Amino acid sequence: MKLNKTLLIITICFLLVNLLFFKHSETLNGGRAMIYIIIFPVFWIATLVTVGILAYRNRKKWFNKKMRISTIVFLILCTPLSIWGFSALTRPEIQLSGTGYNPTNGITIKTETWIYNSGQTAVRKFWKLDKVNSTNSEESEYKKDSIWVYFDKKGDTLKVEKYKNDKLIETTELKK
């Protein structure tokens, strides 16, 4: 098997530019990142047209027995499908859905809800801060408190952990 060096360079550039676009879009505040709804498809279409023209012009060389496999692999990597596949493989199983801060009775209760990719709740966690105003508080000041409930993807309870003043009091495993 012989590598298609031209297509390898184009593929590396394609993936690198997509990564740079993605990293830049993460730094934009508010709706400014919405411009990438247009930029990504325009870039993908331009790359696909360019690679398509090159593949057509060089079809005898690129698709001969020696280069066929590398050409096909690099052509696939020059599509948004490769980026979609990579993001699907690297997506975390659960992600933080929301955090809430509720001042009550001289303390602040912090609540975190984590969800599976399907939208089902994975875990609810609670922390206690011994003051009402939490705006100038460090995360380390919050103490694990209350009952943390872990769910499976069907919504059934997997595990229950009871905390009091940042100490684990009891763990109950309901399913494995």
Percent of the chain with pLDDT over 90: 49
One domain, residues 11 and 86: yes
Same domain, yes or no, for 85 and 100? no
Q: Which of 30, 62, 90 is the last residue of a domain?
A: 90
- In whole angstroms, what separates CA 157 from the centre of its chain? 25
Q: pLDDT band at 176, cuts 50/70/90?
A: low
100 shares its domain with 70: no
- How many domains in the chain? 2
Q: What average pLDDT does range 111-122 have in this prediction?
A: 88
- Token pair, residue 24, equals 């830049």
Same domain, 56 and 12: yes
* Distance, CA of 40 to CA of 15 (rounded, Å): 12
- Given this model, what pLDDT does residue 70 score? 94
Do residues 118 and 106 share a domain? yes
Question: 136 and 66: one domain?
Answer: no
Residues 118 and 158 in one domain: yes
Query: Do 32 and 107 belong together in one domain?
Result: no
Confidence tier at 7 by pLDDT (50, 70, 90): very high
* Domain end call among 32, 62, 90: 90
Do residues 1 and 69 lie in contact, with contact meaning Cβ atoms separated by under 8 Å? yes
| Residues spanned by the domain of 49 | 5-90
pLDDT digits (tens, 9 = 90+) for 43-59: 999 999 999 999 999 99
What is the average pLDDT score of the chain?
89
Choose from 10-14, 18-22, 114-118, 154-158 the range with maximum mean pLDDT. 10-14
Contact between 148 and 155 (Cβ < 8 Å): no
Are 9 and 78 members of one domain?
Answer: yes
Same domain (yes/no): 127, 150: yes
Q: Against a cut of 0.75, is the pTM above it? A: no
Q: Is 57 exposed, middle or buried (0-12, 13-18, 19+ CB in 10 A)?
A: exposed
155-163 average pLDDT score: 91
- Single out the residue of 167, 147, 151 nearest to residue 159, CA to CA: 151
In tens, the pLDDT along 124-149 reads 999 999 888 777 888 888 999 889 99
154 confidence band (pLDDT: 50, 70, 90): confident
